[in-house]
Amino acid sequence: MQQYTDKEVFNQRFSNINEEMEVKKRETKYDAWLEDYETEIENTKSTIVDLGCGLGNNTLYLIKKGKQVLACDYSEVAIQTIQKEIPQASTKLFDMSQGFPIEDCFTDIVIADLCIHYFTEEITRKIISEIKRILKPNGVFLFRVNSVNDSHFLSNNSKIAEKFVWQPEWKKSKRIFDEESIRDFFSGWKIEKIKEEKMLRYEEEKIIWNCAVRKGEQSFMEKIIILGTGGGLTLNCYNTCFLLGNDEQYLLVDTGAGAQILNQIRDANVELNKIHDIFISHKHVDHLLGIFPLLRVICQDIGKNKHDGKVNIYCAREVREIIESFILETFHGKHIDIYHENVIFHDIQDGQEYSIIDYNVKILDLYPKEDIVQYGFQTTLKNGKNFAFLGDIPCSEKNFDKIRKADWVCHEVFCREAENEIFQPHKINHSTVKDVTENMQKLGVKNLILWHTKDNCIQQRKELYTQEAKQYFSGNVYVPNDLEVIEL
């Protein structure tokens, strides 16, 4: 594919428009398309972001409406022209394909007039993700893109490949859209308008799509989605693992014992592309093996541009070595290449801190009695509450002060006290409900999540375990089933 972000093409296009008549003809004129959204524009009090602003036709319209505008372009000439001719507008010079230097939830309205069609599918999806990021909840994206029915793209000089057109006269490629591809790119948005229209561009008729899509009322409610609740080789539920985050991004904690992890994530209605961070507590099979089918599918999706790549895995070095050895022995060559390019390991140790999905996560050594390494973590949620994950072993006294008066603690319980003689949890470094709840009561924990259980009484487990817990613990007790959601 030909180079599609050639800055020289844009700088040449915008510079010295009076130098030759052909360039002058090609300069756009405002054609009133934003008047369709006059009410939306009139009502906003936030700065409107004009992506690919060019020489400022839409920016000028908005300024005349009394709006604040942030005009953005890749071309220095375009930005310099805006600064000279429309000094009321703010400006930013950046390449959209490299991310937006704009804060989260910045604006109610983003516009992009015939400027997001220069990119590969992967980069286009990244740009759309960035647009969503800078929009406030319920914010709207107003844009126009090329139609597959535009005669310019059906000319003899244009070469079409995978809805990408190389136009030699412009020395660049452009993406062309049909309604299906627009709906695909904006899956997850509320689509309010997709209309094919004719317009004049460079004094010639052009066919485009005029679109309005709205970001949903984003829920910033922090939650955990419980993917599994069982301990060891369970058959009646999946192994204990969960997602921490909100509807936009998640940290996956442990992966269970196999490919069922993919079904659990699917049944939780979570897109894999929202999972870019994975924490593996230790190397036991019921916590680790799910990573292999999960990474296999993620690598496959990256290759198909369905996942925008870069997966961080936080684990002990011995866990990393197991994962890497298995993948190198079993993955196809093309997926191994994608794996090397996109999977980043972080060898964790006690006390280290990482920024993960905008949380400051502090690693906890869990001090297992066995000759393995096991880690948990603690963090402070956006709502100010502190949250601790303690793996699948009893909380060590060395960590008591770290979780004292914690708002949320996730702790294993293997069985009820009445089943102690049957399952003998202490011999395998696990606990009874009584063990855990007595300790958490002494530590003043407010909310206690109990999981990693035997699966012998799944139908009655919630009732039985809660009943025992309440005998020793005065805080809130949660004994979840697979795929339950707990709002934090």
Q: The whole model's pTM is what?
A: 0.59
Do residue 253 and residue 208 come from a single domain? no
Do residue 38 and residue 172 come from a single domain? yes
Predicted pLDDT of residue 2: 39
User: Percentage of residues in the chain with pLDDT exceeding 90?
Assistant: 71
Beta strands per DSSP E along 416-461: 447-451
Do residue 289 and residue 371 come from a single domain? yes
Element (DSSP H or E) covering residue 279: strand 275-279
Assign 371 a pLDDT band (cuts: 50, 70, 90).
Answer: confident
CATH of the domain at 303: 3.60.15.10
Beta strands per DSSP E along 100-203: 107-113, 135-146, 159-161, 164-167, 172-175, 190-201
Residue 288: inside a domain, yes or no? Answer: yes
DSSP 144-165: EEEBTT-GGGGSTT-EEETTEE
Which of residues 214, 249, 264 is at a domain's end? 214
Tell me if 376 sits within 8 A of 416, measured CB to CB: no
- Give the best-scoring range by mean pLDDT among 60-74, 143-157, 175-189: 60-74
Which residue in 450, 485, 486 sits closest to 468, CA to CA? 450
pLDDT digits (tens, 9 = 90+) for 124-181: 888 998 999 899 989 999 999 989 887 665 554 444 444 545 444 445 567 888 898 8
pLDDT digits (tens, 9 = 90+) for 476-486: 999 999 999 99
pLDDT digits (tens, 9 = 90+) for 443-455: 999 999 999 999 9
Task: State the chain's mean pLDDT as an integer.
Answer: 88
> What backbone torsions phi and psi does residue 102 show, to the nearest 5 degrees?
-135, 140
Residue 2: inside a domain, yes or no? Answer: no
Domain that holds residue 331: 223-487
Residue 287: inside a domain, yes or no? Answer: yes
Which of residues 192, 214, 236 is at a domain's end? 214
Do residue 207 and residue 228 come from a single domain? no
Do residue 209 and residue 285 come from a single domain? no
pLDDT digits (tens, 9 = 90+) for 286-326: 999 999 999 999 999 999 988 887 899 999 999 999 999 99
Q: How many domains does the chain have?
A: 2
Do residue 361 and residue 470 come from a single domain? yes
CATH of the domain at 148: 3.40.50.150
Residue 306: inside a domain, yes or no? Answer: yes
Tokens found for residue 51: 């992506």
Do residue 287 and residue 193 come from a single domain? no
Do residue 201 and residue 228 come from a single domain? no
Predicted pLDDT of residue 159: 46
Predicted pLDDT of residue 217: 63
Residue 353: inside a domain, yes or no? Answer: yes
Element (DSSP H or E) covering residue 40: helix 38-43
Tokens found for residue 84: 């000279």
Which of residues 214, 246, 280 is at a domain's end? 214
Which residue in 350, 374, 369, 367 sits closest to 427, CA to CA? 369
Do residue 282 and residue 388 come from a single domain? yes
pLDDT digits (tens, 9 = 90+) for 92-104: 999 998 889 998 8
Beta strand pairing call for 408-412 and 447-451: parallel
Residue 1: inside a domain, yes or no? Answer: no
Do residue 235 and residue 181 come from a single domain? no
Residue 439: inside a domain, yes or no? Answer: yes
